[in-house]
Amino acid sequence: MRPFEILRGYRREYLRADLVAGLTVAVVLLPQAIAYALIAELPAEAGLYAAVIAGIAGALWGSSKHLQTGPTNAASLLVLTTLLPILPPGTPEYIAAASLMAIMVGAIRFSMGMLHLGILANFVSDSVIIGFTAGAGILISANQLRHLFGLSVPGSPYLFNTLQAVVLNLSHTHALSLILGLGTVMVVLLLKRFKPHWPSALISMALASVIVGVFHLEAQGVKVLGELPRSLPPLSDFSLFRTEWVGQMAVGAFAVAAIGLVEATSIARSIAAQSGQYVSSNQEFVGQGMANMAAGLFSGYTCSGSFIRSSLNYASGAKTQMASVFSGLIVLAAALAFAPLTAYLPRTALAGVLIVTAYGMIDRKEMRRIWNASRGDSLIMLATLGSTLVLPLQYAVLAGVIVSFVRYVIKTSTPLVYPVVPSDNFRHFVQHEDQPFCPQLGIITISGSLYFGAAHHVEKVIRAELDKYPEQTHLLLRMHLVDHCDVSGIHMLESLVRMRRKVGGDVFLSGVRPLVRQQMELLGFDKFLSSDHFFAREDAIAYLFHHVLSPEICIYECPVRVFAECQALPKYDYRSNLPVSFSFDEHHIDSLLPSELQSKLTENGQVLVLADVREEKEYQEGHISQACLIPMRHIAVKGKNLPRDCPIVLVCRTGRRSMLAAHILKDMGYSQVYNLEGGMLAWKAAGYPVAVE
């Protein structure tokens, strides 16, 4: 059990630091617990009970050493908007329903933690939280205006209904209440400005209570909180629970559970980033579940993690979870000792404190950052903010979560796919737009998962790129940024391979990650493609240049030098050596297979001319012994010396260059011109001898 692990590992030297941190947090937690309960239209003691029970349970079963669990602004507002359509505030049934809702929320969170669904918190964008808290701040401020003005109007979960009710009843404003409330706001702001480390909320509320008590303002119409009961947190009145409430509160409970989990785990992780502690999302889910179920059982209501109190806990030097336990116990002791003093606490002062706090919930700086950085996140933030102000709050939260999830799905299903070429210094690849590209080899980077949702998008983009440059028969896919590939991704790759091989090219992969390669092997794709088509990122270009790309295209048809290997390559424009009158018309060229050429060469009495039209270096590395060298760039000049009364067979590396040379000779009037089909590659593959100089 988690509590026994914490207690067993506790050391005496932690005690002083945890006590100091617990006392510091308790000073802030006490007034907040009372104020936040009033947001939910619950009695102040419900907030104190929740602060004590949830704070202790969340600390003992959670993962973070510094996360402080208890009543929060957002959770209180969600409770209000969920319960108002069901039951009238102030009734015993309303209080019982709030406790039942806490148990439901706790059960959802606890179940998610036990099922190891902590990863789901990652699918909710921070933009949802920012938009929701901003909207919640506006709603809280609007709901507190009636108390600030001393108006007797019913609360409403809808912003415009609340504002309309306040405006229509402004003539009934209670002047003393308004002055006292505005004075409280002024004190809080001044203390925050000049004494930021002082408990401004507690001081301002205590000062307002003294003024009410000394001048007997409650007799003049100033509404006061009333004396709190001096008792330990009692068990909830289960006899009031109704089964139909479960269905009526289900959507709200799920919304509270979702937003609270994201809020709590985000707070825990942000503080853990400073403290260096490892935080388990699953264990934090369990802790939040236990905190809410315990609060619901003992007359409290729904709670969550508080960023302000958690940060204060860490800044005060808390060493372990026991600091939150101590803060809960201190709040309990203070509530029991000073309960009579709350009889003079004016409701308008609480409203003033809450309005200042709610204003602080609108994180304008972070909203500007999101607006300037990402249109997608801005859309989610504004959608959640707008929904919070217009829709029932529980649906607004779920709408923000759904939009966030949909955006994630869309983003992962449309990974970046873009063509690249080597940079000017050949050290890395850059996206090619107006830069030169290789006419034989297309290089495309895929950045994202190749799963069923993304496969169609990736194939569509690649096919569109290949359609732009149909001469690029070979394709190199850089896959070092692909972290997952499923069967749909494999089928897409197989389709690309078939398409390239159909036009005489092929597909090659570089930088394939081990897990992705393993998946390819399990699905048989490595055999379909051939294992020699996989390369390390740094080896692919060199191999393809020397063993796959056609030198004749590089030398005679490509005017650019894209790769480092191209830099020393000679570039010749064979057309510049052709006569002006040369038409380069299409001619029918007969081809010879390597076996047919071998037969002719070994046949007695057979006279033919075998001309190798490659470059001298290629010729020296391996040629047919009977072949003479006439480089392609000289064919129009030296070809005039070839005999016209015997067959002429032209050969190059693959048959492409020799086919061009054959057309030139045909245009020059030679009739018996043949091309070696497949060139020297086919000759070598057939096992025929090669001479090397």
Alpha helices per DSSP H over 13-125: 15-39, 44-61, 73-83, 92-114
Q: Are 260 and 75 in contact (CB under 8 A)?
A: yes
User: With contact defined as beta carbons under 8 Å apart, do 166 and 337 qualify?
Assistant: no
- What is the pLDDT, as a whole number, of residue 410? 83
Look at residue 122 and tell me whether its pLDDT is greater than 70: no
At 185-196, the pLDDT tens digits run 999 999 989 988
Q: Does pLDDT of 588 surpass 90?
A: no
For the beta carbon of residue 28, count every other beta carbon within 10 angstroms: 20
Give the pLDDT of residue 121: 65
Q: Is the pLDDT of residue 584 over 70?
A: no
What is the Cα–Cα distance from 627 to 612, expressed in whole angstroms? 6
Q: DSSP class of residue 172?
A: G
Query: What average pLDDT does range 201-216 have in this prediction?
Result: 88
- Distance, in Å, from the CA atom of 258 to the CA atom of 265, rounded to the nearest integer, reads 11
Catalytic pick among 438, 485, 554, 652: 652
Determine contact, residues 271/109, Cβ cutoff 8 Å: no
The continuous run of DSSP H or E covering 285 comes out as helix 281-297
Cα gap 576→112, rounded to integer Å: 75
pLDDT range class, residue 397, cuts 50, 70, 90: low
CA–CA separation, 357 vs 140, rounded Å?
9
Calpha distance 103→297 (Å, rounded): 7
Six token digits for residue 77 = 């507002």
Which amino acid, 243?
T
| Residue 566 known to be catalytic | no
Mean pLDDT of 438-455: 92
DSSP code string of 58-78? HHHHSS-SS-EEE--HHHHHH
Contact 395, 387 (CB under 8 A): yes
User: Residue 528 to residues 56, 478, 491, 517, 662: CA-CA distances in angstroms?
Assistant: 60, 18, 11, 13, 36
Cα 418 to Cα 420: distance, rounded to the nearest angstrom: 7
Contact 557, 525 (CB under 8 A): no
pLDDT tens column, 521-565: 999 999 999 999 999 988 899 999 888 888 777 877 787 888 888
- Give the whole-angstrom CA distance, residue 593 versus residue 674: 10
Cα separation of 473 and 312, whole Å?
Answer: 63
| Domains of the chain as residue ranges with CATH | 14-406 (no CATH), 417-564 (3.30.750.24), 578-685 (3.40.250.10)
How are beta strands 441-447 and 416-422 bridged, if at all? antiparallel
Q: How many CA atoms lie within 13 A of 40 on its CB side?
A: 34
Q: How many CB atoms lie within 10 A of CB 641?
A: 7
Q: Is 70 exceeded by the pLDDT of residue 371?
A: yes
For the ranges 141-145, 263-267, 461-465, 634-638, the lowest mean pLDDT is seen at 263-267
The pTM (predicted TM-score) of the whole model is 0.63
Kindly indicate the confidence band of residue 435, based on its pLDDT and cuts at 50, 70 and 90: confident
Q: What is the tens place of the pLDDT at every residue in 145-180?
A: 988 999 988 777 778 888 999 999 999 999 999 999
pLDDT in tens, 470-512: 888 899 999 999 999 999 999 999 999 999 998 889 999 999 9
* Confidence band for 575, pLDDT divided at 50, 70 and 90: low
Backbone phi, psi, residue 144, to 5°: -85, -10
Phi, psi of 470 (to 5 degrees): -65, -20
CA 480 – CA 84 distance, rounded (Å): 54
Please answer whether residues 132 and 389 qualify as being in contact, where contact means their C-beta atoms are separated by less than 8 angstroms: no
Model confidence at 252: pLDDT above 60: yes
- What is the rounded average pLDDT for all residues in the chain? 87
At 350, the amino acid letter reads L
Q: In degrees to the nearest 10, what's the CA dihedral of 625, 631, 637, 639? A: 30
| Packing angle of the helix pair 347-361, 126-148 (nearest 10 deg) | 160
Distance of CA 443 to the CA centre of its chain: 27
- Asked whether 440 and 473 are in contact (CB, 8 A), the reply is yes
* Secondary structure letter of residue 450 according to DSSP: B
Closest CA to 315 of 278, 271, 279: 271
Tell me the two tokens of residue 229: 């009961």
**H or E element, residue 263:** helix 243-275
Position with higher pLDDT, 369 vs 579:
369
Identify the bridge partners of residue 474 per DSSP, sorted by sequence position: 441, 506
Q: Is beta strand 534-535 parallel, antiparallel or unpaired with respect to 506-510?
A: parallel
Pairing of strands 506-510, 474-481: parallel
